[in-house]
Amino acid sequence: MELKDLYREIVNEHNLRPEHKGEMSNPDLVLRGVNPSCGDDITLQLKLDESGKISDAMFSGSGCAISQASVDMMIDNIIGLNKEEAIKRSDLFMGMIKGDVKDDDKLEELDDAAALKDISHMPARVKCAVLGWRTMKEILENPDKTENK
């Protein structure tokens, strides 16, 4: 299997069988993220433990395969991280998508989400790929924007 096919396979799998899609009871932080240029519309829900670590996360909403797969992969990646670490991870993902970060050792930190690397060559899909990540960063930096209180 070629690497490109493997990447496509990973994205498909997360899109068809998302592990983290649904509604969470009593989330601590909730924020909707919309990408009007494609019609992607997600709501991200985060649960934090006493130490401020992300102990669980889920998303609801709809959108194209890339937006849905990306947010599902993101959630896999950020559970267990504290706020600063999760924001840093978002910056790393953005760096990869913009084509600024190409070092594979560094991108390993993104696990499955590194499969979206080639999106940097598809400008029309960039907003789809980053939707979940920018929404996560926004709510962690501005917790008072949460929509559940």
Positions that interact with Zn ion (CB under 5 A): 38, 40, 64, 67, 128
Q: Are 74 and 101 in contact (CB under 8 A)?
A: no
Q: Are 112 and 76 in contact (CB under 8 A)?
A: yes
Q: Are 113 and 101 in contact (CB under 8 A)?
A: no
Q: How far is the CB of 145 from Zn ion (least distance, A)?
A: 22
Q: Closer to Zn ion by CB, 27 or 63: give it.
A: 63
Q: Closer to Zn ion by CB, 64 or 79: give it.
A: 64
Q: How far is the CB of 64 from Zn ion (least distance, A)?
A: 3
Q: Closer to Zn ion by CB, 30 or 128: give it.
A: 128
Q: Are 146 and 30 in contact (CB under 8 A)?
A: yes
Q: How far is the CB of 18 from Zn ion (least distance, A)?
A: 15
**Main-chain dihedrals φ then ψ at residue 31, nearest 5 degrees:** -145, 135
